[in-house]
Structure 1
Amino acid sequence: MIRYAFNKMLLTFKHRYNYDVGYQQDILKADLGAFLKFMGLQTMSAHSGELPVGPLFAARIRAIIWDDCGPCTQLVVNMALEAKLEPGLVRALIDRDMPNLPADIALVVRFTEQVLAHNPEADDLREHIRALWGDKGLIALGFAISSYRVYPALKYALGYGKACSRIQVNESFLTPNRESALVEGVKGV
């Protein structure tokens, strides 16, 4: 009965976001205990603390693009749009168009990429993050950066990884520039 209820929840999510939940259904079918642990990850990744929606989705989008440029990224973009993030801002995050990002969001993009690159320059940026949003904001960003990377890794491990695809933001289509994030993030930009 519990599997039925969880599967119904997954199907609702699938239809809401036009997202393939097959890997989650496979986990549910094979190992209920593992699925319950996966749900804990869902709780962690949904945490926003008191962080404004722009910086929160900046971390989520840039973290997911670091490891994925397909359906997972599209899902996060759809969630950002649903949360009323301006489409132009979402496009700028996907393109990593730093000059067109507000200062606080550009800070989060740089911080996210420095953290993902394990670059010590993240230390200075962390203090700016704390000054803006305190420890609660820093924790929310930490949860976003770390948890959003799990989904593509898990999907690829289970055989559900997809090749890069164009990301739709309302009526426009973009190809995430992962190379820029990977190379520039390592260089400390």
Structure 2
Amino acid sequence: MGALSDRIIAKAERQTGCEMPYLHTLADTSGAAFARWMLAMPATTYRDKASLDAWHLARLGATVAQDCGTCVQVVVSMARKEGLAASTLQLALDDPAQLHDDAQAAFAFGQAVASQAPDVADHVARMEALFGHDVHVELAMAVATCLMFPVIKRGLGQSLSCSMVTVHMD
């Protein structure tokens, strides 16, 4: 799988602006593990009925709760590429309580799920009330799949020396 996996990883790194050593580890250790990881990637981008803001902000909230920076940068870069305003993302990172209600609720939902907050049931109920069942399920899937990245990095010992990074909005 060497050359093919190298091309796939290089493309992902270009698209996100971040190095992905965990993918190199997977590919170098087991082509089968890398292939199965890649099979999961379409699930990480599934969005049907959820608004762009709610979907990306739920992912951002979850990622902020789990990661020190590089995964946050990937989520921000993806959101910007899809048209989410830099000002919205910056507000979410700096002062999420100032986001409009739906956006703040989606961000808080992501954080609550990712951090196993004791009030997660309240956030679940709020998602159902604000967005309906279908969008709530979609946001739960978005949160779950975006957490694959910081978790694999942590499991491989590749986030242990992570340091806070400056998140770029461009």
Into which bin does the TM-score normalised by the smaller protein fall?
0.7 to 0.9
Q: What is the CA distance between 1:84 and its match in structure 2?
A: 0.7
Deviation readout 1:115-143 (Å, 9 max, x if unpaired)? 23434533343233224433331222112
Cα distance in 2 for residues equivalent to 1:52 and 1:103: 13
Q: Name whichever of 6-15 and 69-78 sits farther off.
A: 6-15
RMSD between superposed Cα atoms in Å: 2.0
Calculate percent identity across the aligned residue pairs: 20
1:148 corresponds to: 146
Cα distance in 2 for residues equivalent to 1:84 and 1:44: 20
* Unaligned stretches of 5+ residues in structure 1: 171-189
User: After the TM superposition, which parts of structure 1 deviate over 4 Å for at least 4 consecutive aligned residues?
Assistant: none
2:112 corresponds to: 114
Deviation readout 1:70-105 (Å, 9 max, x if unpaired)? 211111111111111111100011123312x12111
* Unaligned stretches of 5+ residues in structure 2: none
2:62 corresponds to: 63
Q: Name whichever of 69-78 and 113-122 sits farther off.
A: 113-122
Q: Does 1:90 align with 2:121?
A: no
Name the count of aligned residue pairs: 168
Cα distance in 2 for residues equivalent to 1:124 and 1:75: 28
Cα contact 2:58–2:110 (8 A) shared by 1: yes
Normalising by the residue count of structure 1, what TM-score does the alignment of the two structures yield?
Answer: 0.79
Cα contact 1:70–1:165 (8 A) shared by 2: yes
Cα contact 1:55–1:108 (8 A) shared by 2: yes
Cα distance in 1 for residues equivalent to 2:131 and 2:48: 10
Aligned partner letter, 2:153: K
Cα contact 2:61–2:108 (8 A) shared by 1: no
Q: Does 1:42 align with 2:41?
A: yes
- The 1:33/1:136 distance shift into structure 2, 3 A limit, reads farther
Cα distance in 2 for residues equivalent to 1:119 and 1:159: 25
Cα contact 1:45–1:144 (8 A) shared by 2: yes
Q: What is the CA distance between 1:54 and its match in structure 2?
A: 0.3
Cα distance in 1 for residues equivalent to 2:110 and 2:71: 17
Normalising by the residue count of structure 2, what TM-score does the alignment of the two structures yield?
Answer: 0.87
Q: Does 1:166 align with 2:154?
A: no
Cα distance in 2 for residues equivalent to 1:125 and 1:160: 31
